[in-house]
Chain A
Amino acid sequence: MTNLQSLDLFWPELIITVVILTALIVDLCIEKSKSDVVGWVLVIGLLITAIAIWNQDKTTTTLFTDMIVLDPFATFFKLLIILSTLLVAVVSWQNNELDEYRKGEYFTLLGILVLGLFLMASSIDLIMVYISIEVVSIMSFILAGYLKLDTRSNEAGLKYVVYGAFSSGIMLFGLSILFGLTGSTNYFIIQKSLAGLDGSASAALVMALLMILAGFGYKISAVPFHFWTPDVYEGAPTTITAYLSVAPKAAGFAIIIRFFHQVFADGGALADAESLSMTDVPWPEIIGILAVATMTLGNLVAIQQESIKRMLAYSSVAHAGYMMLALPVLSIQTVYAIMVYLVMYLFMNLGAFFVVITVKNKTGGETFDDYRGLGWEMPFIGVVMTLFMLSLTGLPPTAGFIGKFYIFSALISGGSQYYWLAIVGGINSVISLYYYFHVVKVMFLEGERKETLVQPPEVMSGVLLATAIPVFLFGIYWNPVVNWVQNSLIFYVQTM
């Protein structure tokens, strides 16, 4: 579609652009103490965007002369991103860490981040892939270092920049090799010319693949590109940590699924057919090994953490590993499983981080010591946190169990060569039980009972309920999620 025609189908992104500008200008007109108003602009703007996305034509087409794509798959991720942004924006008002700062830029940058994530979920061109990843990265750098007066936050921002710049540089190099081999930046043309490449090019192709994985792996914090994760997650404002662990990861998976299914495979899986790898490059094996390394390392290192925030950082690395497990299997079930997992993961991980924020607001700390006896002092927080920990472990009857169940069943139905992945995944879930339940143990079995009970503020309780109820509900009645994912499994596949 040409540029002008595309504008008609580009409304959500245009609305976000207007929201960003409005937020910026509103911020200029108000005093620091009132800068929460900008958050309202963002929240209302995102709600309007969500309505615009919901009412959009259900057509699947490419926009802006094959730069980005509009299909239910992208729409699914856009709604997921809006949902997590809304939750995070509401909690940002409550986060004491941000109190000394103007929040105007904070919400404006969050809006730009959403725009970048939207483009990430829908790009089908190497250049768009790079630009959208950069938009997301740069906004995340600033937000991670938003607490100017806190050296930890400065460190987080700086480390994020260094790792981010390096990995996106490597990714760009990989993309350029891919472009050199195939002569195009469009996914579908690359896919076609990859099929025609002779075996002598496969060494270069493996190089390109590994380099591109560096960029993608960095976004979803997969081993061995995870080194930034714990430090950035620890130093960044906790709301941003929560956001980084969910939304960019979801968009990262969107980009990976699209890239590997439409460039390195014939895309058959996306049309619910038998899918074949386009090249003899062993990319499913590479990703399988990376997935195993990711979750094993994440789980093993999480055990040793003193700080809950760092523990959750490593746990989010491990969860990226679980989702990556399903990538090597080229079937529609695995894409389906990853999407279901992402929905479940959104609620449970955001919820766990929101608990960390509530506790930090009250006690000012985020180590295991600060959680001693918390279950008796703040029973609501204790119960909710236990639920999130259960869910992150993957025990029934919680959302996490359903997510893991879909991943493992997709692996088993993929054939016997994937059994070992499922087995390693199972073992890892057992390992994770230890450190998740360490939190529960500290909260309920240690420390002294207090006479006075403390209730978190109403808004926090509301948001915690908004994440806890789905975590519990989707563990028992997960049909709505499954149906939504099922309806979103329509990709734009170019027929040539």
Chain B
Amino acid sequence: MYRDFGTVLVAVILGIVMVAIPLLIQKLIAPSKKSKDKLQTYECGEEAEGSAWLQFNIRFYVIALIFLIFDVEIVFLFPWAVVFKELGLLALIEMGIFLIILIAGLAYVWVKADLDWVKRNVRYGTGRYQDVRMEKTT
């Protein structure tokens, strides 16, 4: 078995060498003319603005999570739609249950006011949102 892993070792060494050699070559032969523009971070052609090490609003993550769930839902819906005719009623019920579970999740984030960008609609907040109890917006 050590011979088997010998192959892996050879592959690892080869991998390192194959990366190192091109880097070395371009270091040797490429002309190096550094300028301010060249050293800037590439941001899709826009001029770079400030540092990337800044605090993001935590709401981005919540929105991303919610998005992910419904993204997965779509992923499941497409193959289901393709075979729907063959499976018939059973498939409809199954997908119905799946969607109900997801919609319960949607209802949850809605009531907990996670869909609002500015969290104003806190109905029953805990902790530091305790006093922020707002009227239900109609």
Using a CB–CB cutoff of 8 Å, the interface residues on chain A facing chain B are 4, 21, 24-25, 28, 31-32, 100-102, 148-149, 200-201, 203-204
CB of A471 to closest CB in B, whole Å: 36
User: What is the bound-complex CA distance between A21 and B127, given in angstroms?
Assistant: 25
Number of A-B contacts (CB under 8 A): 27
Contacts of A101 in B (CB 8 A): 126-127
User: What is the bound-complex CA distance between A24 and B1, given in angstroms?
Assistant: 53
Q: Considering the complex, give the chain B residue whose CB is closest to the CB of A4.
A: B90
Contacts of B127 in A (CB 8 A): 100-101, 148-149
In contact, B101 and A200 (Cβ under 8 angstroms): no
In contact, A31 and B107 (Cβ under 8 angstroms): no
Partner of B126, one of A28, A32, A204: A32
In contact, A148 and B126 (Cβ under 8 angstroms): yes
CB of A242 to closest CB in B, whole Å: 23
CB of A118 to closest CB in B, whole Å: 18
In contact, A21 and B101 (Cβ under 8 angstroms): yes
Partner of B124, one of A25, A31, A100, A149: A31
Contacts A149-B127, A201-B1, A204-B1 known; 20 new A-B pairs at CB < 8 A: A21-B100, A21-B101, A21-B104, A24-B104, A24-B108, A25-B104, A25-B107, A28-B108, A28-B111, A31-B124, A32-B124, A32-B126, A100-B127, A101-B126, A101-B127, A102-B126, A148-B126, A148-B127, A200-B1, A203-B1
Main secondary structure of the interface of A (DSSP, over half): helix
CB of B1 to closest CB in A, whole Å: 5
Contacts of B100 in A (CB 8 A): 21
80-138 of chain B: CB within 8 A of chain A: 90, 100-101, 104, 107-108, 111, 124, 126-127
Contacts of B104 in A (CB 8 A): 21, 24-25
CB of B55 to closest CB in A, whole Å: 18
User: What is the bound-complex CA distance between A101 and B125, given in angstroms?
Assistant: 9
CB of A207 to closest CB in B, whole Å: 11
CB of A294 to closest CB in B, whole Å: 31
- Report the contact-size class of chain B (Cβ under 8 Å from the partner): 10 to 19
The 17 sampled A-B contact pairs (Cβ below 8 Å) are A4-B90, A21-B100, A21-B101, A24-B108, A25-B104, A25-B107, A28-B111, A32-B124, A32-B126, A100-B127, A101-B126, A101-B127, A102-B124, A102-B126, A148-B126, A149-B127, A203-B1
User: What is the bound-complex CA distance between A21 and B101, given in angstroms?
Assistant: 7
Contacts of B1 in A (CB 8 A): 200-201, 203-204
User: What is the bound-complex CA distance between A361 and B17, given in angstroms?
Assistant: 65
User: What is the bound-complex CA distance between A25 and B101, given in angstroms?
Assistant: 10
User: What is the bound-complex CA distance between A203 and B2, given in angstroms?
Assistant: 9
User: What is the bound-complex CA distance between A102 and B125, given in angstroms?
Assistant: 8
User: What is the bound-complex CA distance between A21 and B102, given in angstroms?
Assistant: 10
User: What is the bound-complex CA distance between A21 and B108, given in angstroms?
Assistant: 11
CB of A32 to closest CB in B, whole Å: 4
Contacts of B90 in A (CB 8 A): 4
Contacts of B108 in A (CB 8 A): 24, 28
Q: Considering the complex, give the chain B residue whose CB is closest to the CB of A100.
A: B126
Contacts of B101 in A (CB 8 A): 21
CB of B68 to closest CB in A, whole Å: 15
CB of B129 to closest CB in A, whole Å: 10
User: What is the bound-complex CA distance between A32 and B125, given in angstroms?
Assistant: 8
Q: Considering the complex, give the chain A residue whose CB is closest to the CB of B1.
A: A200
User: What is the bound-complex CA distance between A204 and B111, given in angstroms?
Assistant: 52
CB of B6 to closest CB in A, whole Å: 13
User: What is the bound-complex CA distance between A10 and B100, given in angstroms?
Assistant: 20
Contacts of A32 in B (CB 8 A): 124, 126
Contacts of A21 in B (CB 8 A): 100-101, 104
User: What is the bound-complex CA distance between A28 and B90, given in angstroms?
Assistant: 30
Q: Considering the complex, give the chain A residue whose CB is closest to the CB of B110.
A: A28
The interface centre, meaning the residue of A4, A28, A200, A201 with most chain B CB atoms within 10 A of its CB, is: A28
User: What is the bound-complex CA distance between A102 and B100, given in angstroms?
Assistant: 24
Q: Considering the complex, give the chain A residue whose CB is closest to the CB of B124.
A: A32
Contacts of A102 in B (CB 8 A): 124, 126
CB of B128 to closest CB in A, whole Å: 8
The interface centre, meaning the residue of B101, B107, B126 with most chain A CB atoms within 10 A of its CB, is: B126
